[in-house]
């Protein structure tokens, strides 16, 4: 009886304290060791994941870090072939507050054939580059999304007639050709637009024209053929710039 007195005293003392303290300080030696081990594991887990939040998954780095100069994305030869009597061979650059992410350039010209009328042509090219961002997505995935939206936007051009869409083979990693007609200022314009994606960059090339004063309108199939050729050159300029 005398040998069990200390043990009985300990049990009564533990019964008098709150439950949480009993678990922490009144268990057997083996329980205390187990608790210490569990406590260490819990602390380590909390330290590696503060607040229980998981760290964002890493995303693949963007393939291209910069864009080509838009007005140099097409050679002078290409511009002169597509835009006879071009006003400015160097092109007119579009405004951009972030040239590393977007840029554009355009050319236009009017070929006067006298009594046979005049041929007007307009050519433009634009670039959009997307960075990889944690929590948002890779540059390539973001470019794919932008590519699909751009195709849809061109197809939905207001008052466009006879819209036709088809794949544009050999242009970037994926490309779509969209042709349509549009009446402006009483004249019937023919349009050929190529929307392409290469890596994390979306390239849009537009080519259109009309005939004035009796000149024939451009043949839609020929207009598209020339637009595809120019789009291949513009898309290839992205890789060259990097």
Could you read off the pLDDT of 103-124 as tens digits, one per residue?
Answer: 999 999 999 988 888 999 999 9
Split at pLDDT 50, 70, 90, the class of 73 is very high
Domains of the chain by residue range: 5-52, 70-241
Could you read off the pLDDT of 25-42 as tens digits, one per residue?
Answer: 433 444 444 444 444 444
**pLDDT at position 46:** 40
**pLDDT at position 115:** 80
Return the CATH number of the domain spanning residue range 70-241: 3.40.1000
**pTM for this model (two decimals):** 0.76
**Where do we find the tokens 């050929």?**
192
């Amino acid at each position: 009886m005398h040998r069990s007195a200390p043990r009985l005293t300990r049990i009564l003392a533990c019964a008098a304290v709150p439950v949480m303290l009993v678990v922490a300080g009144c268990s057997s030696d083996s329980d205390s060791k187990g608790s210490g081990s569990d406590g260490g594991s819990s602390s380590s887990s909390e330290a590696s994941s503060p607040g229980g939040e998981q760290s964002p998954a890493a995303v693949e780095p963007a393939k291209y870090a910069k864009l080509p100069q838009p007005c140099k994305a097409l050679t002078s030869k290409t511009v002169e072939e597509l835009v006879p009597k071009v006003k400015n061979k160097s092109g007119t650059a579009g405004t951009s507050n972030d040239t590393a992410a977007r840029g554009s350039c355009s050319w236009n010209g009017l070929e006067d054939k006298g009594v046979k009328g005049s041929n007007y042509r307009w050519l433009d090219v634009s670039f959009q580059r997307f960075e990889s961002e944690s929590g948002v997505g890779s540059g390539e995935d973001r470019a794919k999304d932008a590519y699909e939206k751009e195709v849809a936007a061109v197809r939905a051009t207001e008052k466009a007639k006879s819209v036709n869409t088809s794949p544009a083979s050999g242009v970037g990693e994926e490309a779509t050709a969209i042709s349509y007609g549009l009446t402006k200022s009483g004249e019937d314009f023919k349009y050929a637009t190529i929307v392409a994606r290469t890596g994390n960059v979306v390239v849009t090339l537009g080519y259109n024209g009309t005939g004035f004063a009796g000149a024939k309108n451009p043949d839609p199939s020929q207009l598209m053929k020339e637009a595809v050729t120019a789009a291949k050159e513009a898309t290839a300029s992205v890789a060259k710039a990097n």
